[in-house]
């Protein structure tokens, strides 16, 4: 914003003058700007505001109403009519509001600041549209997208996961199958299952951030037969009456508060299940991964006693990268209890891909179970 000094007192003002015969007000304002400040450009026809102030005259003070017009400057002269009588200086609208001792003008300057000194609203984005913009809504991803989608994350290749390929082979393929996926995380396995020919996939996610990531992944990878829903899949299974050809339960069981109950509900829903989960090695409870174990309780379920190892998330659920369970803690099973729960739920045939007792986050197992 351009300010000039007054001729008499050298206080900071905006260029202004009296109405001129034969000129419209905005034209008179443009002429005053040329004469007092040596600037010219496109003058707006309509005033951006008005105010009154006490103008000092030779015979006293007169209250004057000032109409303020916006001039978009495109030429600044180094030699102008009143150069020897005034100083001029470009300042921010915020600084202009401080220097000009006219309250009404200060208010107009503040409004102009809001109009002219634009900043991007926090909930908006001003970059060229791209899938990367959507990915960058989150600072952390667990998954890396396949290279052909040209987006970058800090994750691992869960969209090209060998566990999925192995399970699909053990299941005799998924072409034409209706799949229920629990906890899709960021849609990586969903992508692989649809590309392998699944007829439909219903993927239920209880983590709000992960759900939005799934929608982003769906848009990027153009999934057409997969549907994502936000909510607690245990509550879904309690009322569900539809049968699914396959249930996909990767990275989920160890986030449950009642894992045996989940497997029992799945036994009423499907005849085939893929599971990747951590389990408890009771002889390795001195390992770092076991630190969150806060209680060990014998729990009766459907006529059998299971040992429930209660674990706390220890505040991790408050971080932006959290991808755990719905509640503040979860229950882990031993490998023996896991097998017993699968058997009790009706899954008699087991095909085990791998058992990793040395996984850094706790012993892990990958398997397919069928009736």
CATH number at residue 165: 3.40.50.150
Question: Strands, E, within 119-205: which ranges?
Answer: 178-182, 200-205
- Average pLDDT of the chain to the nearest whole number: 89
Among candidate residues 295, 310, 312, 304, the one with its CA nearest the CA of residue 342:
304
* pLDDT given for residue 113 in this prediction: 54
Paired residues of 49 in beta bridges: 68
Q: Tell me how far the alpha carbon of residue 127 is from its chain's centroid.
A: 15
Last-in-domain residue among 68, 88, 116: 116
H/E element, 191: helix 188-195
Domain identity same for 149 and 286? yes
CATH number at residue 99: 3.90.79.10
* Predicted confidence (pLDDT) per residue in 241-294, tens digit: 999 999 999 999 999 999 999 999 999 999 999 999 999 998 778 777 777 888
* pLDDT given for residue 119 in this prediction: 60
Q: Sorting pLDDT into bands at 50, 70 and 90, what band is 155?
A: very high
185 phi, psi to nearest 5 deg? 65, -85
Is the predicted pLDDT of residue 170 greater than 70, yes or no? yes
Whether the CB-CB separation of 213 and 135 falls below 8 Å is answered with: no
Q: Sorting pLDDT into bands at 50, 70 and 90, what band is 111?
A: low
What span, in angstroms and rounded, lies between the C-alpha atoms of 92 and 117? 9
Overall number of domains in the chain: 2
Residue 283 lies in a domain: yes
* Predicted confidence (pLDDT) per residue in 208-245, tens digit: 999 999 999 999 999 999 999 999 999 999 999 999 99
Whether the CB-CB separation of 360 and 368 falls below 8 Å is answered with: no
* pLDDT given for residue 367 in this prediction: 98
**Mean pLDDT value across residues 127-149:** 91
How far are the Cα atoms of 101, 330, 359 from residue 279, in angstroms, in the given order? Answer: 73, 12, 10
Whether the CB-CB separation of 280 and 334 falls below 8 Å is answered with: yes
H/E element, 114: helix 103-116
Residue 203 lies in a domain: yes
Is the predicted pLDDT of residue 106 greater than 80, yes or no? no
DSSP 8-state code for residue 197: T
Domain identity same for 255 and 357? yes
Structure tokens at 230: 């936000």
Domain identity same for 142 and 87? no
Domain identity same for 171 and 68? no
Residue 269 structural domain: 133-370
* pLDDT given for residue 51 in this prediction: 79
Q: Sorting pLDDT into bands at 50, 70 and 90, what band is 314?
A: confident
Grouping H, G, I as helix, E, B as strand and the rest as coil, residue 209 is: helix
* Predicted confidence (pLDDT) per residue in 14-38, tens digit: 888 888 988 998 899 889 989 999 9
Q: Sorting pLDDT into bands at 50, 70 and 90, what band is 203?
A: very high
Residue 212 lies in a domain: yes
Last-in-domain residue among 85, 116, 147: 116
Last-in-domain residue among 84, 116, 148: 116
What span, in angstroms and rounded, lies between the C-alpha atoms of 176 and 245? 9
Is the predicted pLDDT of residue 122 greater than 80, yes or no? no
Is the predicted pLDDT of residue 82 greater than 70, yes or no? yes
Domain identity same for 111 and 137? no
What span, in angstroms and rounded, lies between the C-alpha atoms of 30 and 10? 21
């Amino acid at each position: 914003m351009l300010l000039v000094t007054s001729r008499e007192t050298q206080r900071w003002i905006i260029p202004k003058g009296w109405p001129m015969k034969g000129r419209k007000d905005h034209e008179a304002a443009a002429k005053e700007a040329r004469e007092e400040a040596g600037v010219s450009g496109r003058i707006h026809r309509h005033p951006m505001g008005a105010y009154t102030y006490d103008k000092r005259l030779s015979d006293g003070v007169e209250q004057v109403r000032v109409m303020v017009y916006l001039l978009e400057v495109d030429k600044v002269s180094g030699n102008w009519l009143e150069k020897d009588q005034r100083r001029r200086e470009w300042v921010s609208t915020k600084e202009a509001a401080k220097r000009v001792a006219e309250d009404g003008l200060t208010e107009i300057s503040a409004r102009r600041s809001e109009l002219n000194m634009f900043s991007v609203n926090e909930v908006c984005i001003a970059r060229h549209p791209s899938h990367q913009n959507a990915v960058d809504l989150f600072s952390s991803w667990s998954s890396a997208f396949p290279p052909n989608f040209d987006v970058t994350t800090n994750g691992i290749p869960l969209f090209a996961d060998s566990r999925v390929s192995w399970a699909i082979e053990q299941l005799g393929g998924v072409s034409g199958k209706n799949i229920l996926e629990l906890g899709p995380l960021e849609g990586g396995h969903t992508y692989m299952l649809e590309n392998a020919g699944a007829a439909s996939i219903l993927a239920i996610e209880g983590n709000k951030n992960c759900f939005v990531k799934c929608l982003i992944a769906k848009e990027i990878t153009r999934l057409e037969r997969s549907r994502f829903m936000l909510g607690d899949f245990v509550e879904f299974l309690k009322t569900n009456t539809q049968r699914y050809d396959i249930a996909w339960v990767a990275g989920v069981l160890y986030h449950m508060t009642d894992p045996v109950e989940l497997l029992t509900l799945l036994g009423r829903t499907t005849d085939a299940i893929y599971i990747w989960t951590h389990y408890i090695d009771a002889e390795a409870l001195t390992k770092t991964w076991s630190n969150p174990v806060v209680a060990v309780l014998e729990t009766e379920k459907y006529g059998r006693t299971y040992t429930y190892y209660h674990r706390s998330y220890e505040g991790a659920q408050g971080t932006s990268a959290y991808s755990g369970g719905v509640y503040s803690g979860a229950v882990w099973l031993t490998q023996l209890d896991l097998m017993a729960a699968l058997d009790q739920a009706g899954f008699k045939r087991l095909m085990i891909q791998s058992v990793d007792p040395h996984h850094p986050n706790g012993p892990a197992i990958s398997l397919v179970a069928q009736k």
